[in-house]
Structure 1
């Protein structure tokens, strides 16, 4: 299976009516159907919103460095695949689907060891049908229709 680096952007709102930018990965059908990546991991970084609920420029740069380190560590052997990123309303959420949460956690700690302590929380859930991804992917069509 070849991992695409094709992404789309869509806009939505959170429960508070804040603007949220959705960055979703395209061309993941083979991974979804393989049944190998059954566990979803959501990494959330809460921040003090700057303009329009987005992170400050300095915080956005830190987030980008963290995201790059995580993707590199998780996707090098397809242990996990980043499927989407939500930013807005005072939080950034990275969503991954992984083969094993235990190894994901070990690799996450290793990937982030050179960063100072980060304001992140981690949530995991079994999602063998990729329901979160499919819900997010519907945003691609809405974005295309606008």
Structure 2
């Protein structure tokens, strides 16, 4: 299985009508179909949002640094793969599908050890059918892909 770095961007709305920017990973059907990534881990960074619900420029840069470190660490040995990023309404959420939640937690702590304490929360659940990914994927602008054919 080869992991590509092909992404799409879409817009969504929070429950209270705020804009959410959705970045979804494309061309990962082999990982989805493999049955090896059975658990979803969501890492959420809460921030004080600007008028438009987005983070400040400074905070957005820090989030990008964290994302890069997390993605490299988790995907190095394919412990987990980053499938989606949601930003808006005072939160950025990174969605990973992982082989092992306890190992994911250890890797997360190791990966972020050099950062000051971050305002993160973590949520995990079994998601054998990749329901969250499929729901996110449905927001993809029409341009043709084979991830759910």
Question: TM-score, normalised on structure 1?
Answer: 0.96
1:52 aligns with 2:42: no
Cα distance per residue 1:39-76 (max 9 Å; x no partner): 00000111011141100000001100000000010000
Distance in 2 (alpha carbons) for counterparts of 1:33 and 1:24: 17
Instruction: Show structure 2 runs of 5+ residues with no match.
Output: 144-149
Distance in 1 separating the partners of 2:11 and 2:51? 16
Q: What does residue 144 of structure 1 align with?
A: 142
Residue equivalent to 1:132: 132
Which aligned pairs between 1:1-146 and structure 2 lie closer than 5 A? 1-140=1-140, 143-144=141-142
Give the Cα–Cα distance (whole angstroms) in 2 for the partners of residues 19 and 127 of structure 1. Answer: 26
The unaligned stretches of length 5 or more in structure 1 are none
Which whole-Å CA distance do the structure 2 matches of 1:14 and 1:56 have between them? 19
For 1:95-127, what per-residue CA distance to the aligned partner results, in whole angstroms no more than 9, with x for missing partners? 000000000000000000000000000000000
* Matched residue SS, 1:58: helix
How far apart are 1:4 and its partner, in Å?
1.1
Moved more, 44-53 or 63-72: 44-53
Coordinate RMSD, CA, aligned = 0.9
Counting matched residue pairs gives 143
Moved over 6 A (4+): none
Report the alpha carbon displacement of residue 144 of structure 1 after superposing the two structures with TM.
2.9
